[in-house]
């Protein structure tokens, strides 16, 4: 699949948006522990909340590869913000995939304009990796469903009101009973919880919510029991690939900053980059980053071509995350004390890479998946 002109323009515009707006503001967002709504509105005005939504429905009609490229660019400045935007676009895309789905189509223009923010909720206070063990329950009630339970650690939950929630319709532990519902955060029965209070990247807006006797109409079930579990496992392959791209984005920004600093900071009569012991660290980081980027590019191509990417997506996320986990602390160290300043991106990236290792399948869960799928060549 070749990148179309409108996709190239969107990527260029994102690059400017990151340099002119996200990068200069990210440390302030971190200090204030909040992302202003204006940041969403600016991203929406460019089309970033509807990257994959068809043009006929008001979106940008871009490929998955373009979405991953945009996520990577946003993450060079702020992984939390990048996830917040991509999660909203994912809800808009999901709603646009169901043209007969009344609530989704009602919310779609507001999501695209960032007058509503989106989130996708699987995780609960007592269950993360073991997704099949979720305890939020939906019970048939008249023509619809009565839903009760609690979700935790959800990107954007502190502000989202267009929510896709995965809930159990049968007995706890029965994966074939898990269904997906569109939840309207402005209706009775929805109560927003507090922020997850993470150690950093508050721009992500992660938090929780409680559903107590929340009534969902029958047509608000957007993934049938059984089918929803299978479809999230497929969708999550895409998420694994763009999170890997975001790990590469954080690494690229750290490497760029360290390269620039190394050529101007003097020690023992020469630039830091003049010392072999200093520059090899950057050379090693750049070599492994190049390998991770190549793997991300091939996973993106395979995803857009509709290939089965279950194993490749897991391998790509494990590889890119591990690469960045190894090199981001080393690049921070290469900056000396300068790397620890709030207005440098290193602190955000160090937290960001921890988030990467958990979201959309932790590294251990992905290694389990790869182990199950690898076959002799």
Ligand X SMILES: Cc1cc2nc3c(=O)[nH]c(=O)nc-3n(C[C@H](O)[C@H](O)[C@H](O)COP(=O)(O)OP(=O)(O)OC[C@H]3O[C@@H](n4cnc5c(N)ncnc54)[C@H](O)[C@@H]3O)c2cc1C
Which residues here bind ligand X, judged by CB under 6 A?
Answer: 87, 119-123, 128-129, 153-155, 198, 204, 206, 355, 358-359, 362, 364-365
Q: Rounded to the nearest whole angstrom, what is the least distance from the CB of residue 178 to ligand X in the complex? A: 12
Q: Rounded to the nearest whole angstrom, what is the least distance from the CB of residue 270 to ligand X in the complex? A: 41
Nearer to ligand X, 219 or 235 (CB): 235
Q: Rounded to the nearest whole angstrom, what is the least distance from the CB of residue 100 to ligand X in the complex? A: 26
Q: Rounded to the nearest whole angstrom, what is the least distance from the CB of residue 298 to ligand X in the complex? A: 25
Q: Rounded to the nearest whole angstrom, what is the least distance from the CB of residue 342 to ligand X in the complex? A: 19
Nearer to ligand X, 239 or 285 (CB): 239
Residue with tokens 């970033």: 48
Nearer to ligand X, 23 or 133 (CB): 133
Nearer to ligand X, 89 or 273 (CB): 89
Nearer to ligand X, 201 or 272 (CB): 201
Q: Rounded to the nearest whole angstrom, what is the least distance from the CB of residue 363 to ligand X in the complex? A: 6
Using CB atoms, what's the residue nearest to ligand X? 128
Nearer to ligand X, 272 or 351 (CB): 351
């Amino acid at each position: 699949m070749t990148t179309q002109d409108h996709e190239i323009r969107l990527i260029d515009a994102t690059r400017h948006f990151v340099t002119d707006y996200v990068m200069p503001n990210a440390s302030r967002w971190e200090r204030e522990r909040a992302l202003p709504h204006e940041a969403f509105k600016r991203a929406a005005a460019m089309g970033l909340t509807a990257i994959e939504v068809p043009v006929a429905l008001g979106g940008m009609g871009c490929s998955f590869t373009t979405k991953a490229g945009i996520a990577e660019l946003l993450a060079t400045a702020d992984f939390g913000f990048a996830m917040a935007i991509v999660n909203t676009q994912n809800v808009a895309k999901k709603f646009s995939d169901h043209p007969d789905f009344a609530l989704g189509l009602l919310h779609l223009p507001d999501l695209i304009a960032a007058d509503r923010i989106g989130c996708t909720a699987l995780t609960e206070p007592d269950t993360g990796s073991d997704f099949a063990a979720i305890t939020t329950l939906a019970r048939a009630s008249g023509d619809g469903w009565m839903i009760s339970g609690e979700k935790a650690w959800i990107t954007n939950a502190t502000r989202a009101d267009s929510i896709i929630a995965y809930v159990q319709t049968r007995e706890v532990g029965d994966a074939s009973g898990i269904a997906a519902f569109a939840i309207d955060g402005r209706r009775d029965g929805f109560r927003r919880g507090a922020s997850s209070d993470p150690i950093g990247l508050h721009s992500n807006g992660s938090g929780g919510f409680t559903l107590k006797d929340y009534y969902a109409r029958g047509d608000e079930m957007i993934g049938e029991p059984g089918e929803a579990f299978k479809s999230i496992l497929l969708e999550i392959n895409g998420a694994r690939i763009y999170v890997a791209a975001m790990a590469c984005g954080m690494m690229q920004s750290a490497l760029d900053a360290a390269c620039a600093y190394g050529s101007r900071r003097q020690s023992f009569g020469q630039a830091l980059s003049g010392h072999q012991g200093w520059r090899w660290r950057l050379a090693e980081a750049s070599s492994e980053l190049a390998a991770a980027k190549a793997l991300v590019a091939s996973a993106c191509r395979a995803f857009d071509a509709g290939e089965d990417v279950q194993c490749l997506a897991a391998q790509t996320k494990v590889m890119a995350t591990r690469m960045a986990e190894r090199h981001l602390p080393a690049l921070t160290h290469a900056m000396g004390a300068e790397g620890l300043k709030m207005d440098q991106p290193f602190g955000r990236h160090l937290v960001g890479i921890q988030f990467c290792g958990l979201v959309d399948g932790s590294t251990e869960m992905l290694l389990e998946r790869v182990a199950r799928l690898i076959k002799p060549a």
